Chain A
Amino acid sequence: MSLSVLVADDSKLSRRSVIRSLPQDLEYDITEATNGQEAINSLSESEFALILLDLTMPEVDGVGVLEFLHARPNMPNVIVISADFQPEKQKIVMSLGAKRFLRKPLDKEELAMALFELGYL
């Protein structure tokens, strides 16, 4: 069965980079969102097992998406992938229930490790 993944990032380059970095061992059913509002729309319509979330996005930012998810039951696994990884940001994100905080540029190994630790691999 393929893993349903939502990749939310306003940059096409970063979405490509995230998708390319996903380990080949699994099959994925990928939905892309180009801003936080699109992500929230997708999350309202479908269930996702995993969300790969950027923080700095127009409309609604990544923190807004986390707040939306945090307020609902059964929060899916969220891995935040952000260029802004100052300690203060990490604290906010983790307090809103994100499972991991990864830095951009995304390291393939780090993503694989996170997926392993979350039980996907």
Chain B
Amino acid sequence: MSIVLPLDEEQRDALQELLNISMGQAANSLAQLIETKIDISIPKISAVTPTQLYSLLFETEDAFYTRQSFLGDVHGEVMSVLSQAGLSEVATLMDYDEPLSKEDIQEIILELCNILAGACLAGLSEQLELTTNLNMPTLFLPDKANFDELQWQHSLVMEVQFVIAISSFSMRVVFCLDDESLARMKNTLDELLA
């Protein structure tokens, strides 16, 4: 089943640009921390069912998964997929000593989520002049059954990817929004385009 994207072309382009700007801010703060260049993908925006969301996120093997909800003028959930590959190189850049303990790994994952996903959402909210509060990220293991129970039946998904150039590490961040938040965001986008 495919779902029609609930945005017109101008709104989609505008949202893509705002995401791009937010990603730039997020990537820059990490790039400064680890003194390494970070590549960012062109943001993808789509509308999916929970089942499609599940496959979108979890087609990747050997990954860590986190989720964090946000509340405020718009609400939804941010899910991140971090590759296991290259994580230890990133840890070294973040001044962690090898070998990494389980606690170290968890700390690094949550830190990366705060820096990249957190900054990305903050940047997006700021530009849309909306207030959002992001909860702490938690690690989780994807379970298909739980996805069918997600409250966003037709979620707007904004997907961005960060790649650290000198290692094989990559991280995908997916933002899910509910219908009410989507309507709110569309109004703001229209104002910015006027």
Chain B interface category by residue count: 20 to 34
Identify the closest chain A residue to B19 (Cβ): A83
Question: Which of A7-15, A41-49, A60-68, A71-79 makes up part of the contact surface?
Answer: A7-15
A84 and B167 CA atoms in complex are apart in Å by: 20
Let me know if B37 and A88 touch, CB within 8 A.
yes
Let me know if A13 and B24 touch, CB within 8 A.
no
Let me know if A85 and B28 touch, CB within 8 A.
yes
Question: Which of B10-18, B59-67, B99-107, B149-157 makes up part of the contact surface?
Answer: B10-18
Residue from the list B24, B31, B37, B189 in contact with A83, Cβ < 8 A = B24
Q: Please encode chain B, from 160 to 194, with 1 for each CB lying within 8 Å of some chain A CB and 0 for all others.
A: 00000000000000000000000000000100111
Let me know if A13 and B31 touch, CB within 8 A.
no
Smallest CB-CB A-B distances: 10 pairs: A83-B24, A11-B17, A13-B14, A83-B21, A104-B21, A13-B17, A86-B31, A83-B20, A84-B24, A105-B127
Q: For chain A residues 1-57, which have a beta carbon within 8 Å of chain B?
A: 11-14, 16-17, 56
Let me know if B193 and A86 touch, CB within 8 A.
no
Which residues of B does A touch, CB under 8 Å?
A: 10, 13-14, 16-18, 20-21, 23-25, 27-28, 31, 37-38, 40, 123, 126-127, 189, 192-194
Residue contacts A-B, CB under 8 angstroms, 9 given: A11-B13, A11-B16, A17-B192, A82-B24, A83-B21, A86-B27, A86-B28, A104-B21, A104-B24
A17 and B189 CA atoms in complex are apart in Å by: 12
Residue from the list A13, A83, A88 in contact with B13, Cβ < 8 A = A13
17 additional A-B pairs beyond A13-B192, A84-B24, A88-B37, beta carbons within 8 Å, are A11-B14, A11-B17, A12-B10, A12-B13, A13-B13, A13-B14, A16-B194, A56-B20, A82-B24, A83-B23, A85-B28, A86-B28, A86-B37, A104-B21, A104-B24, A105-B123, A105-B127
